Amino acid sequence: MAIRLGDEAPNFQADSTEGRIDFHEFIGDGWCVLFSHPKDFTPVCTTELGYMASIKPEFDKRGVKIIGLSVDPVADHVKWSKDIEETQGTAPNYPLLADPDRKVADLYDMIHPNALDTLTVRSVFVIGPDKKVKLMLTYPASTGRNFDEIVRVIDSLQLTAKHQVATPVNWKDGEDVIIVPALSDEDAKKKFPNGWKTLKPYLRLVPDPR
């Protein structure tokens, strides 16, 4: 059955460029981004994996581990990493899972045969410390992802996991947030004693509570 938001991220063991990985052990107590790409030695994937390596410090800062996957074997990942470094300036500094038998790809429904017959599409799963799936994205092979958006989303996920707020359209870290409608004005007064701006009774803006 397809994975849905809030489901536990299925566990698996697989080989990677950093050795054998048990996925749940890898996640540990932190956050994780699992992302698939269709194939090694392909142009869009080369740019994506290099960029992901260049912004790894942003994930580290937020306590997020990143891990890539394709259906190619580890030996190809290792060889291709040199091309990524040469062309993008950064080699993958995170593990790349090998999935030649498509075990993980099937578990995570990363093969969409009507889009790309036997290769993984560009899937992204953000998984929380409770091992539950917090966000899923699926892009076609022809379109490289915006990994800055994944960092932005993680800021929202981490904030909204701790505070009774939601983030508005195009929100960025530090901007005003929305008090969730489930919180009454009376309860909101206790949580946000400095007050908020009411645009409508259901649209109350408050500074980032952190």
Residues that bind ligand BEZ (CB under 6 A): 38-39, 42-45, 141
45 noted as active-site residue: yes
Mode of pairing for the β-strands spanning 122-127 and 133-139: antiparallel
Of 143 and 184, which has the nearer Cβ to ligand BEZ?
A: 143
Q: Provide the β-strand partners of residue 132.
A: 8
Please report how close the Cβ of residue 57 comes to ligand BEZ at its closest, in angstroms.
24
**Of 120, 31, 109, whose CA–CA distance to 72 is shortest?**
120
Please report how close the Cβ of residue 5 comes to ligand BEZ at its closest, in angstroms.
27
Of 45 and 178, which has the nearer Cβ to ligand BEZ?
A: 45
Transcribe 94-163 into DSSP letters. Answer: S-EEE-TT-HHHHHTT-B-TTTSSSSB-EEEEEE-TTSBEEEEEEE-TTS---HHHHHHHHHHHHHHHHS
Tell me which of 14, 27, 45, 52 is the catalytic residue.
45
Of 45 and 165, which has the nearer Cβ to ligand BEZ?
A: 45
Please report how close the Cβ of residue 47 comes to ligand BEZ at its closest, in angstroms.
8
Of 122 and 204, which has the nearer Cβ to ligand BEZ?
A: 122
Please report how close the Cβ of residue 42 comes to ligand BEZ at its closest, in angstroms.
3
SS3 74: helix
Catalytic residues: 45
